Structure 1
Amino acid sequence: MLTLIGFDVSNYFNMVKLALAIKGIEYKTVILYPNQTDEYLLKSPMGKVPALETDQGVLTETNVILEYLDEAYPNSPLYPGSTFEKAKIRELVKMAELYIELPARRCHSEAFFGQKVDDLTKKEVKRALYKGIEGIARSAKFNPYLAGEQLTAADIVFLYSADLAAAVAGKLFAVDLLEMAPGAKQLMDKLNQLDDVIQIAEDRKLANIEFKKYIASLS
């Protein structure tokens, strides 16, 4: 049986968790925060989460895990279609991560934990998020999902990237980021109504209590 390592506040952990739920894959969970212990570095070379233990070994990096799950468990495909269509889904996954999730992450400390971020960083993040969401708007179909009529890995990554990025943009820049990509807000509403997404949100709320204690212990 697969074992998913990580914690329920991590958006990347939740991307894999949702993929497993959509595909109906049984798995175990080991709750663990990122760390640099020798034991964990043998599993996750950078000490990051999530990590997925399989019978063949451990996989890290969320996009790699999503692609592995789709090949190993082909039911309810997350990368459906022709070779080109699959590549377009991978393109949207990469765009959501590089141009939405990662820029916003630079301001998570101020938006969510009350730790001040310098003005230059915020200026760079604001510019990057504008460019990123505009790029998504040009690339995605929103019909109703990013790649068309079927939910794909691109929607999973967008869901758990855009929600945090939109919160950053709203709190720090007073901007409704999702309004900048017509169809994005409707897509987020649709995804957030899924039973699996609702359950993951509940799990995240509960886990956030312990996570805040963990963050406080580091300071």
Structure 2
Amino acid sequence: MIKLHGFALSNYYNKVKLVLLEHGIEFEEVTDKLPLAEAKLAQSATGKVPFIETEQGFLCESEVIVEYLAARFPEKPIFSADPWQAARERELIAVIDTHLELAVRELYAEAFFGGKVSDEVKQSVEKRVTRYLGSLKRLASFTPFARGAQFSIVDAAAYASLPLVGMATQKIYGRDMLAEAGVDWKAYLKVMGERASVQRVNADRKAYMEAAA
């Protein structure tokens, strides 16, 4: 059985967890918090969560894990069967994970944790987010899911990370740049919240927060 290591507040942990739940892949959760202990670096080479444990060893980085799951369970429609559509899914995931979430992650210290971020960083992030929100709008439709009428692998990434883009930019710049770009992510979350997998992720995250309070 696959063991998923990490914790319920991690958006990338929840991205992988959502994929596992959506596709009925059996797994066990193992709580590992950051920073990882030195001994854990043999299991997560990047020192990040999530990472998974398999009979062959350990693997980190959420998108690498998703690709592994798709290859290991070819009977599960994690990516579209059509190569072109699957490539377009990967393209949009890259925009969400690499160009939007990782950019706004530089704001989290001040947006969510009481720290401070320099004006230079804020200006740089604002410029990058503005650019790639344009990319998001060109690639995604949210009608009602990220790529149209049907749930896809892109929605695991969008659900996990796009709310952070909206919340962090609202905190730092006084405006929700995602909503400003025409993405009604709160309505999108309501649509996603109708899925049993998302309800499970949300409940587990809430329970984790309550236990930590």
- Could you tell me the TM-score, scaled by structure 2's length? 0.90
Letter in 2 for 1:80: S
Q: Deviations over 1:116-170 (max 9, x none)?
A: 1111111211222222222100112333322333212211111111111110011
Q: Which residue of 2 aligns with 1:158?
A: 158
Alpha-carbon contact 2:165-2:178 (below 8 Å) kept: no
Partner of 1:91: 91
Shift of 1:31: 0.3
The secondary structure found in structure 2 opposite 1:3 is: strand
* Separation in structure 2 between the aligned mates of residue 183 and residue 9 of structure 1, nearest angstrom: 23
Report what 1:195 is aligned to.
Answer: 196
Matches of 2:212 and 2:113, distance apart in 1: 11
Contact 1:136 1:181 in 2 (8 A): no
Distance 1:208 1:123 in 2: 32
Q: How big is the shift at 1:50?
A: 0.6
Residue 210 of structure 1 deviates from its aligned partner by 6.0
Gaps of 5+ in 1: 213-219
Contact kept? 1:22, 1:76, Cα under 8 Å: no
Matches within 5 A, 1:70-219: 70-182=70-182, 184-185=184-185, 186-208=187-209
Which residue identity lines up with residue 203 of structure 2 in the other structure? E
Q: What are structure 2's unaligned runs of at least 5 residues?
A: none
| TM-score for both structures, normalised by structure 1 | 0.88
Q: Please list the CA deviations of residues 42-69 of structure 1 after superposition, one character each: whole Å capped at 9, or x if unmatched.
A: 1111211111111222111101111221
SS at match of 1:107: helix
- In structure 2, relative to structure 1, the CA distance for the partners of 1:205 and 1:26 (3 Å cut) is same
